[in-house]
Amino acid sequence: MIILYLFITFLIGIPIAFSLGIISLVQIANDGYPLIVIIQRMFTGADSIALTAIPLFILSGNLMYRGGMSKRIVDFADTLLGHLPSGLAMVSILACMFFAAITGSAIAATAAIGGILIPLMVEKGYHREFCAPLLACGGSIGPIIPPSIPLLVYGTMANVSVGKLFIGGVFPGILMGISLIVYSYMIGKKRKYIGRDKRASLRDILKSGFNASLSLLMPFIIIGGIMSGIFTPTESASVAVVYSIITGMFIYKELKIKDIWPVMVDTAKATGQVLIVVAFASLFTWVITVNNIPQSVGYILQNSISTKITLLLVINVILLIAGTFIDTTSAVVIFTPLFLPLVQHYGIDLIHFGLIMAVNLTIGMCTPPLGVCLFVSGSIAKVSLKSQFKDLIPMILVLIIVLLLVTYIPQITLILPNLFS
């Protein structure tokens, strides 16, 4: 009943963090526990060294955006793919992949790349109703290619290596990007979306690549440092902040002292939104644990599901539905404790399961009614949510095919972690 009441509060419009808090408060009072437990569990949930990386990664992403890195990434992607049919559409996906490796945020990737490319695409004759969902789906790659805030939260909750989760996201993220690029190419051929007049010369490619090299180098520094043991995931976030300040302020010279305060304010707001959910979710996790709800859910599913294949299919369906009205971080903290005992019972690798959750829930960021990336790209393209449906549906189907490949071919997510371990 606790889970049912929780979803009822979601559906009537109560913010997710407060829904978790209200249901937990009522259940704690009903069970007769002292109310001091609320403060203790919330503080314990947020008091984690690993979670310190969240504000630092958000800060580094904001600094890089202000420092001009997104424009250089777009220019480099344009020299590689801009001459092909539907060239700008393919450039937008490639740029989202590059930017994902810097920020780890779907919303940031959608806003940064969409703000540059959607006006250009419209000017070149692309339909606004195509541009908006494409950038939303491209932005959803953000939390898959490392660094990734949802994977960081999952790794903390499931007590698995964040470094392995990060590197495990490389191939799924690339697969998502390639699939959307192929789809864009096919649509471009059909609708006569033309690219640049001529292919960029090798000199132009090398020049734009050199200009973007410092931006593209950062993910290699982060992942390389983590996997080599030079620094932890949390320390890598600090390295990313220092690197973004030096690059934006002293090399590109586009990040100014006056930009620092707005960046800090934006970072504080975004961090607060994430950590308040984590704190309330920690309380909710404790409540459902003492009431044996994960065990009950596991018992029900074990008695109705006989194979690992069926279990993963059921979990995917549940997460796809939940992702339409619960944001990614909230869904991770709600469903991880529910599914973890069951996943372990069936012998599913926890790194693999973490990537399944991440890919699944990021699809929810570009599906209505929540679909935050859709709202961001729609506001840039100046189109309504309803008008995007026709082009959005096949893009979602493309991403679901990728999800099924990631789900049922574990090597896609595990080959790199196993190689580096």
pLDDT in tens, 258-314: 988 998 998 888 788 777 877 887 788 788 778 877 777 777 777 778 788 999 999
Is position 3 within any domain?
no
201 pLDDT band, cuts 50/70/90, is confident
Kindly state whether residue 16 falls inside one of the protein's structural domains.
Answer: no
Q: Is residue 303 part of a domain?
A: yes
> Is residue 370 predicted with pLDDT exceeding 70?
no
Angle between helices 308-323 and 328-345 (to 10 degrees): 170
| Vertex 16 angle, CA 14 and 17, to 5° | 110
Domain that holds residue 194: 22-31+49-420
Rounded Cα gap, residues 380 and 116, in angstroms: 10
Domain contains 36: no
Straight-line distance from the first to the last Cα atom of the chain, in angstroms, rounded to the nearest whole number = 42
- 291: which residues sit within 8 A by CB, 6+ positions away? 2, 27, 31
Instruction: Check: CB of residue 184 under 8 Å from CB of residue 391.
Output: no
Structure tokens at 345: 């019972």
Question: Is 135 a domain residue?
Answer: yes
DSSP tag of 365: G
pLDDT given for residue 97 in this prediction: 86
> Does residue 236 lie within any of the structural domains?
yes
pLDDT over threshold 70, residue 99? yes
Inter-axis angle of helices 293-304 and 257-290, nearest 10: 70
Least confident of 30-34, 168-172, 196-200, 397-401: 196-200
127: left (phi over 0), alpha (psi -120 to 50) or beta: beta
Q: Is residue 379 part of a domain?
A: yes
Tens of pLDDT, residue by residue over 36-81, are: 888 888 887 777 776 777 788 878 878 877 888 778 888 888 888 8
Q: What pLDDT is attached to residue 176?
A: 95
Q: Residue count of the chain, please give it.
A: 421
pLDDT band, residue 421 (cuts 50/70/90): low
pLDDT of residue 1: 67
DSSP characters for 183-212?
HHHHHHHHHT----SSPPPHHHHHHHHHHH
Distances (CA, A) of 3 to 10, 23, 77, 231, 369: 11, 9, 45, 39, 21
Looking at per-residue pLDDT, the higher value among 221 and 181 belongs to 181
At 304 the pLDDT is 79
Buried b (16+ CB within 10 A) or exposed e, 399-412: beebbeebbeebeb
Could you give the CA distance from residue 63 to residue 382 in angstroms, rounded to a whole number?
Answer: 27
Alpha helices in 82-161 (DSSP H): 87-103, 106-123, 128-139, 149-158
Percent of the chain at pLDDT exceeding 70: 97
Tokens representing 76?
A: 């480099």
Distance CA 49, CA 82 (A): 43
Helix or strand run (H / E) with residue 18: helix 16-31
Planar angle of CA 366, 363, 235, nearest 5 degrees: 105
Residues contacting 174, CB < 8 A, separation 6+: 97, 145
Total domains in the fold of the chain: 1
d(CA 124, CA 320): 34
Asked if residue 410 has pLDDT above 90, the reply is yes
pLDDT the model gives residue 271 = 80
Predicted TM-score of the model (pTM): 0.80
Q: When comparing pLDDT for 61 and 145, which is higher? A: 145
Distance (Å) of CA 73 to CA 266, 310, 345: 22, 41, 44
Residue 104: name the closest of 337, 409, 358, 366 by CA.
358
**Would residue 6 count as lying in a domain?**
no
pLDDT, tens only, 310-348: 999 999 998 988 887 777 877 888 888 888 888 988 899
The whole-angstrom separation of Cα 176 and Cα 268 is 30
